[in-house]
Amino acid sequence: MAEATFLHEGTAIAHTPSGADVAAGEVVILGTMVTVAKAAIADGVAGSVDCAGVFAFAKAAGTIAVGVKIYWDESADVATTTATSNVLIGKVTKAALTGDTVVEARLNQ
pTM here is 0.91
| Cα–Cα distance for residue pair 85/9, rounded to 1 Å | 30
CA distance 65 to 91: 9
pLDDT digits (tens, 9 = 90+) for 41-84: 999 999 999 999 999 999 999 999 999 999 999 999 999 999 99
